[in-house]
Amino acid sequence: MIEIIQTPPLNTVQDLGRFGYRRYGIGCAGAMDRVALAAGNLALGNDANLAGMEFQLFPVKIRFDCDIAIAITGADCAPTLDGRSLPPWWVVNVKAGQVLTLTSPMSGMRSYLAVAGGIDVPMVLGSRSTQSRDGFGGFSGRPLRAGDQLPTVPGAALQFRDSFGLGIQPPDAVLKGGYHSWAGQCDVILRVIPASEYEQFDDASLHAFKTASWTVTVQSNRMGYRLAGPSLQRTTPTEMRSQGIVAGVIQVPPSGEPIIQLSDGNSAGGYPKIAIVIQSDLWRLAQAAPGRSLRFSQVSLDEARTARAEQSKYLQDVARLSSYCRFSKAHS
């Protein structure tokens, strides 16, 4: 059992998402930074898709009621365990009664806590993710509150050989990401594939889309990010029919300022779509705080495939390297 002692609203239990229920209009939900959650799980010897906690508001205080191995990944939230400071991207054994404290990250947006065996909330419609807007999944279908007691899997405590813990190499150290000739040092580059209405935009808008930078506004959350930047316009604005949409879609409402739909976004919509962020870059967006500048870099499906292969190799390496540092399940 894990007890939430303190949490602001909007922190939730998530796995890698809910698929197979779009016929009801149910979107994917799931961790915004899927790479961080998957890496935490794999470092613990879990399946990548087990449920963990996503923290996007701080401070958070958690007490563990059992011995258990945990992984803290995502944005560096200066974790402390009983007051002892832990490095970011860290795996460690905790003892029953210990208290973990997480504070607002200096950079990045979302931190993840994975535990050996996963957070044992019920599987609802094929996933343990919180479907906040429909009120099911995760922990009681809602964000976490102080006093919540989250079930863990009995006997899942894996003992790491070194009680000090084990580091995980963060993905930004390994995954190079896209290239944009105009990008500054701090710009987040998102690789995109043109979407169905791309060709309807006028030349000036397409040029701006490829070259300009967009700022993440404060109207950005798990549903989607609203961006500020040059206005994008179609040559002939027409009414659209409503269609299914995916996380990462860059929609352009008549105001001309793009919206990127994300994990808790609409599953359908009728705004024109200029492009779609490749799945391998959604974690970069998940960590882009309001004020960060984004640039879009158009890539081919081949390049997107290479990016997926790199990401999958990174995650395999996380799993392999951490496996050397664990006692085998039989031994523990």
Partner 1 sequence: MSGGITILEKPRVSYCGDHGLLLEAEGDLALPTQERIWALNDVVLGWAGVLDTQPGMNSLLVLIQNDEHDPVEYHDRLLRAWSESQSGRRPSKLLEVGVVYGGEGGGDLPDVARYHQVDVAEIVQLHSGAEYTIFAPGTGPGFGYLFGLDPRLFIPRRKVPVMRKVGGTVSIAGAQAILGAPKHPNAADTSPTGWHVIGRAHDVPIPFDIARDPMSIVSLGDRIRFRVERLDR
Of the pair 97, 135, the CB lying nearest partner 1 is at 135
Contact between 238 and partner 1 by CB under 8 A: the answer reads yes
Question: How many whole angstroms separate alpha carbon 6 and alpha carbon 51?
Answer: 20
Residue range at the interface with partner 1 (CB under 8 A); choices 81-89, 163-171, 177-185, 250-258: 250-258
Letters for 195-214 (x = contact with partner 1 by CB under 8 A, - = none) are: xx------------------
In whole angstroms, how close is the CB of 220 to partner 1 at the nearest point? Answer: 14
331 binds partner 1 per the rule CB under 8 A: no
Least Å distance, CB 80 to partner 1, is: 33
Determine which residue in the list 29, 102, 277, 288 makes contact with partner 1, applying CB under 8 A. 277
124 touching partner 1, by CB under 8 A = yes
Q: Which two tokens stand for residue 140?
A: 């009681």
- Determine the interface stretch with partner 1 among 2-10, 13-21, 72-80, 176-184 (rule: CB under 8 A): 13-21
Tokens of 44: 């613990």
Residue 23 or 331 with smaller CB distance to partner 1: 23
Task: Report the candidate in 124, 114, 102, 113 with the shortest Cα–Cα distance to residue 156.
Answer: 114
Q: At a CB cut-off of 8 Å and minimum separation 6, what does 189 contact?
A: 177, 178, 179, 180, 183, 281, 284, 294, 295, 296, 297
| Binding to partner 1 in span 254-273, by CB under 8 A | 254-255, 266-270
Q: What's the Cα-to-Cα distance from 42 to each of 168, 242, 319, rounded to whole Å?
A: 10, 38, 5
Among 5, 8, 10, 21, binds partner 1 (CB under 8 A): 21
Task: Please tell me whether residue 149 adopts helix, strand or coil conformation.
Answer: strand
Beta strands 188-194 and 293-298 are parallel
Tell me which DSSP letter residue 80 carries. Answer: E
Q: Rule CB under 8 A: is residue 154 a binding residue for partner 1?
A: no
145 touches partner 1 by CB under 8 A? no
Does 10 participate in binding partner 1 (rule CB under 8 A)?
A: no
Place of tokens 């935009």: 201
Question: Which amino acid does the sequence have at 247?
Answer: A
| 240 sits near partner 1 (criterion: CB under 8 A) | yes
The owner of tokens 């807007």 is: 133
The string of DSSP codes covering 178-193 is ---TT--TTPEEEEEE
305 binds partner 1 (CB under 8 A): yes
Q: Which residues bind partner 1 (CB under 8 A)?
A: 19-27, 124-125, 133-136, 141-142, 192-196, 238-246, 248-249, 253-255, 266-270, 276-280, 301, 304-305, 307-308, 312
